[in-house]
Structure 1
Amino acid sequence: VIVGANGIGTPRLLLMSASERFQNGLANSSGLVGKRLMLHPHGSSAGIFDDDLEDWVGPAGEQLVSLQFYETDKSRGFVRGCKWILMCTGGPQQMVERWDKGEGTRDEPFWGTEFTRKMQDSIGHMMEWQIINEDLPEETNYVSLDPTLTDSDGLPAPKIHYRTSENTRLMLDFHLQRSLESLREAGAKKAWITRRRVSSGHNLGTCKMGNDPETSVVNRWGQAHDVPNLYLIDGSVFTTSTGVNPTATICALAKRTATYIADNARQLEVAS
């Protein structure tokens, strides 16, 4: 049985699969199913330049990446770091959100007489950094089953318990300030923080991988310690979120687990 419902769906399925044998949920002898949820809080900053940057050209993806401040430097007051991503900034609708909701600009006049001037200044003349935190695993951040709320099938909905840690807040503040400095040094005539969010949608870490069944849910192959024919192939097995997008790592782990299953199945060694 292979499960790939990621950091919220996978623990939900395991917790719903409680039985007389697995009273706290399937594969949960460690008590860690659902624990250590990581969400990749992130922010962004933007700068306006006199040059025509054609910043609306191209897909909404990474055009340049910096890991300059990615490694731990305890003198900053926190551990770990962030990835910086230079993004194209899109068209008028996205520009409105940056002016109207950005930190430091949401109280500025925008609508009415200022609208045309600010849109002309920014469209085609903006550079934006996306900052992705390495959210750290904490057992106080977790997924459980909601005691009352159900889905359309009458099954318990997942309940998210999450508070952004002090380390993550300090990390994000530091990186956003450095990103503003970089924009100004590059010649921006105006720079501001455009977004600060708790979650990026990367739901990770709720079924920890490890060698010790007492402190992890699955082994190095994604195989559940308690249920030998159960494999997890998603971001729930992450031991830390890292500060980068998790998709490539999830794909690599899934391929690795699939290869392990296939190789052992040939020798009739896959548990059943």
Structure 2
Amino acid sequence: MTGFGSLVAVVTGGGSGIGAAVAAEFRARGARVGLLDVQPGTPSDDGLLPVIADVCSRGSLEAAMATVAGAFGGIDVLVNNAGISSVGTVEANDDDEWARVLDVNVTGIARASAAALPYLRESGHGAIVNLSSIAATAGLVQRALYSASKGAVHALTLAMAADLVTEGIRVNCVAPGTVDTPWVARLLARTTDPAAERARLEARQPTGRLVTAQEVAGAVAYLASPDAGATTGMSLAVDGGMSGLRLPAR
């Protein structure tokens, strides 16, 4: 992929997991990266700028975008990666939990995008990549609230792409399967048999393993790259074949 050397990217939730992998991928390709997180970590080089930010606060995001743009001279790419999980059926989560998850996973994307748009409009390569999930399009057990939030991310991606295409800003999303991250490790640790639950998650993906954060980062990098200049309003599945393949029982 070409054209990353002059780009500035912002990654929400960039302090760990998929966000950290996306930041590392962008940095390896020459982009400078603002890491927005409530715990953004310590920079490893001059091209990484950690900024404390909360996707539940519009003011926090506006200040963080201004910090990144001031340090690096603008913003070309926004990766809306920050998100939280929720487990349970539609009966299991109370109203406060519904409000909390939707505020982070959906409204947080709207807030971050609105805060970044003044800078993206000044870029010749404006791109937004949202993190969706296989849960947006496949019914998964015990994931009612999380699935609703990621379905909204998918729909929001399409609406944003339609609104911004005439301004030269592309909007796409990546829909991972289950990714091997500290977040998933914490979820597994809460189960009665973490090893068995991990084996079940691996088995439901046709590749027989969890997706790596680096594989998701590669997909995000493609959609953010000027090489994908004709791609907008799309969802790219990185799910080990889970969304499209139906294999015989093993």
Report the TM-score when normalising by structure 2.
Answer: 0.24
Of structures 1 and 2, the one with the larger relative CO (CA 8 A, separation 6+) is 1
Considering only CA atoms, is the larger Rg found in Structure 1 or Structure 2? Answer: 1
Higher strand share: 1
Higher helix share: 2
